[in-house]
Structure 1
Amino acid sequence: MSRYCLITGASSGLGRELAIQYAEQGWQVIAVARSVNALNELHNQYKNIHAFPLDLTNTELFSAAVVQLSQQIPALDLVILNAGSCDYVDVTQLPLDIFDRTMALNFQAQVAAVKLLLPLLQKSADATLAIVSSLAHLFPFTKAQAYGASKAALSYFADSLRVDLTGSGVGVCLIEPGFVDTPLTQKNDFKMPFLLQVEDAAGRIRRGLDAQQQRIRFPKRLVWSLHLLNCLPYSLRCKVAAGMRQS
């Protein structure tokens, strides 16, 4: 029997690599993204990757698309909500459009996706909902006010959601990666510690999901470093963060 996996943000980076790895494992992969051409390229390479072009921030179109999807497949066994964006903030201006845009995709669209896709997950005998957040929310990084806040909200949402879905047949996994070499991070103009290749990162996620882990955080060296920084007295932690901005 076919297993069905839906992955958002599948046109590039981590989402694309996850789609490929699950397709190679024999899954039927529903690849969701805005880029029709990139999704069609994936389908041409792997016939069990099915293009599902969609703007996740358009809830009305998203809802209609899920109705159509529910008529085509019996259930979803795995959903990986990976779509997201990162824009850095100039605090002398605090452009509200950046906050609106970032929260719309990184948080509000993820909540909408859970609402709309949960009925299909509940039709599976053993389903997993995986939500991709970030380690960034663990420490106050420079210019990351919009991105970090959106990921902090998303991580809390995932943890709280798990509590209320306990016993429902749908497991919730929170994924919090560090820096991964993708088109998103390639725009960064600062040193990214413990940078991982996208194939490595996707493999870690896939193995963690196979093991039914509730939270997947990597790389461990970055996780430990951030935890150590958070153990500092608050005033010293603030000084360290400010020093990173100036370096």
Structure 2
Amino acid sequence: MPCCLITGASSGIGRQLALDYARAGWQVLAVARSTDALEALAAQHNGIRPVVADLTRAQDVAALCQGIAESDQPLDLAVLNAGTCIYVDAGDLQLSDFEQTFAINFFAIVRLSAALLPLLQQSKQGRLALVSSLAHYFPFTRAEAYGASKAAVSYFADSLRVDWADKGVAVTLIEPGFVDTPLTQKNDFAMPFLLSVEDASQRMLTGLSKGKPRIRFPKRLVWSLNLLRLLPYPLRIRVAGGMKP
């Protein structure tokens, strides 16, 4: 039975992805900070094993990886999906907003990637999947912290793929658009081409099963953002300014 680890599994995409992988016959290590949410998830399928951990804490990451190493089950796939979004007030920039966002969205990914490398190398098909966002393709209002953290994840994934090519571990970058999750339900603006978590999870699962190095969706949003990026820079900035509430 193949084994995968999924972070941010207490809600949203991570929760749905854990269910879908378990239903597909995988042993799933579902990682999150909420004990109650993980226990409720594990009750949905006996292939899901809840693992409570705060990935911003080095000791939690070490304990998580030690537990995997001591098990008899090789780790075939790790999907690092945990993340947060803090919209900032550009007129009163608070460094703490950026520190909190990067701690979860980027630094936790770097720490866990490093810790998981030897575990993924033990599998004949080890793959690391890092979840970024299409948000960094365009300068959305109030998204300075979130967009910057996701841009960092995307660059990290692309660079890591090159450097891990000779280590026997594949790297996949996942860049979703808007997905209907508890995080996006807090948004007070229109979200074009909004997808359900079920749709997003299936797109990710399908792309990973095919070994794709990069998974971006939905295509309509990808094409729209690519067209915006083709605009002359001053015009692009004016378009972005017109999106402000």
1:75 alignment partner in structure 2: 74
Query: Structure 1 residues 124, 233: CA separation in 2 closer, same or farther (over 3 Å shift)?
Result: same
Q: Which amino acid aligns with 1:72?
A: S
What residue is the counterpart of 1:113 in the other structure?
112
**Cα deviation 1:145-181 (Å, max 9, x = unaligned):** 0000000000000000000111322110000000000
In the alignment, the residues of structure 1 paired with residue 87 and residue 79 of structure 2 have an alpha-carbon distance, to the nearest angstrom, of 25
Secondary structure of the structure 1 residue equivalent to 2:91: coil
In structure 1, the residue corresponding to 2:90 is in which secondary structure?
A: coil
Q: Shift in Å at residue 127 of structure 1?
A: 1.2
Q: TM-score, normalised by structure 2?
A: 0.98
CA offset digits 1:110-133 (Å, max 9, x no partner) = 000101111110000111110000
Q: Distance in 2 between matches of 1:86 and 1:100?
A: 12
1:101 matched residue in structure 2? 100
Deviation digits for residues 57-93 of structure 1, max 9, x if unmatched? 0012211221122101432100000000001000111
Contact 1:74–1:123 under 8 Å retained in 2: no
Query: Aligned letter for 2:233?
Result: Y
CA deviation map 1:190-229 (0-9, x unaligned): 0000000110000000000011111000000000000000
For 1:228, the equivalent position in structure 2 comes to 227
User: Identity across aligned pairs (percent)?
Assistant: 60
Deviation at 1:96, TM superposition (A): 1.4
Which amino acid counterpart does residue 109 of structure 2 have in structure 1? Answer: Q
Q: Number of matched residues?
A: 245
1:245 aligns with 2:244: yes
Unaligned runs of 5+ in 1: none
Following the alignment from structure 2 to structure 1, what is the Cα–Cα distance between the partners of residues 5 and 50? Answer: 10
Contact 1:79 1:130 in 2 (8 A): yes
| Structure 1 segments (4+ residues) deviating >4 Å | none
- CA offsets 1:4-24 (integer angstroms, 9 cap, x no match): 100000000000000000000
Unaligned stretches of 5+ residues in structure 2: none
* Root-mean-square deviation (Å): 0.8
- The residue number in structure 2 matching 1:40 is 39
Matches within 5 A, 1:1-247: 2-246=1-245
Tell me by how many angstroms 1:139 deviates.
0.3
